[in-house]
Amino acid sequence: MQQTGTLLLIDDDEVFTRVLSRALSSRGFTVAVAHDAAGALTLTRREHPRYAVLDLKLGADNGLSLIPQLLAVAPQLRILLLTGYASIATAVEAIKRGAHDYLAKPVDADAIVRALRDDDGDAGEAVTAGAEHAPPLRRLEWEHIQRVLVESEGNISEAARRLGLHRRTLQRKLAKHPVRERSGP
């Protein structure tokens, strides 16, 4: 099996990391595991990983605040943020801080590998958090708007209030067609 590089798995759940580490190892990754921010930074300096799979909640530590610290040590690091607490605000903040992608738990190893390898054709080129990630975030926003609209029983004004948007802004967003996922090249 072809080696695909070192992957740093950062999560405070030891059972989850053991299972995911085994699954990612079987897919060709050399996996290093950290259970907190300090351990993650130490391993990043020592192992020089190409990829990192980072949990949002790390006990007393916060995965979002760890993203820029990891990138300061390893600017080429491709970071995937995992969370059981998915929200549009968190997804946007993760991308702004330098994560390359964002997935909600539960997630399987194949979805993680796809997210890590997405747009990874040129290993020497740093991927920015711009247009490459816009479709998934727009899709997440669309789904969130639809969920809030249903909770508001179709009342545009109430949904806009809950979303923190002006009513007309919400109407413009709803007038657009649903966002489609990108298909492969």
Q: Identify the residue whose tokens are 């610290």.
A: 69
Neighbour tally for 179: CB within 10 Å: 16
| pLDDT confidence band for 183 (50 / 70 / 90) | very low
- Tell which wins on pLDDT, 83 or 37: 37
Residues in the chain: 185
Q: What is the pLDDT of residues 122-159, one digit of tens each?
A: 333 333 333 343 446 666 777 778 778 888 888 989 98
Distance CA 142, CA 163 (A): 12
Domain ranges of the chain: 5-127, 134-175
Is CATH 3.40.50.980 what the domain over 134-175 is classified as, yes or no?
no
**12-27 pLDDT, tens digit each:** 888 888 999 999 999 8
Any idea which of 29-33, 47-51, 73-77, 177-181 has the lowest mean pLDDT? 177-181
The pTM (predicted TM-score) of the whole model is 0.62
Q: What is the predicted pLDDT for the residue at 83?
A: 82
Give the confidence band of 178 by pLDDT, cuts at 50, 70, 90.
low
Write the pLDDT tens digit of every residue in 57-113: 888 888 889 999 999 999 999 999 988 777 777 888 888 889 998 888 788 888 889
**CA distances (Å), origin 15, targets 21, 32, 35:** 10, 15, 11
Q: Which two tokens stand for residue 123?
A: 């290993």
Q: To which CATH superfamily is domain 5-127 assigned?
A: Response regulator (3.40.50.2300)
The proportion of the chain whose per-residue pLDDT surpasses 70, expressed as a percent, equals: 81
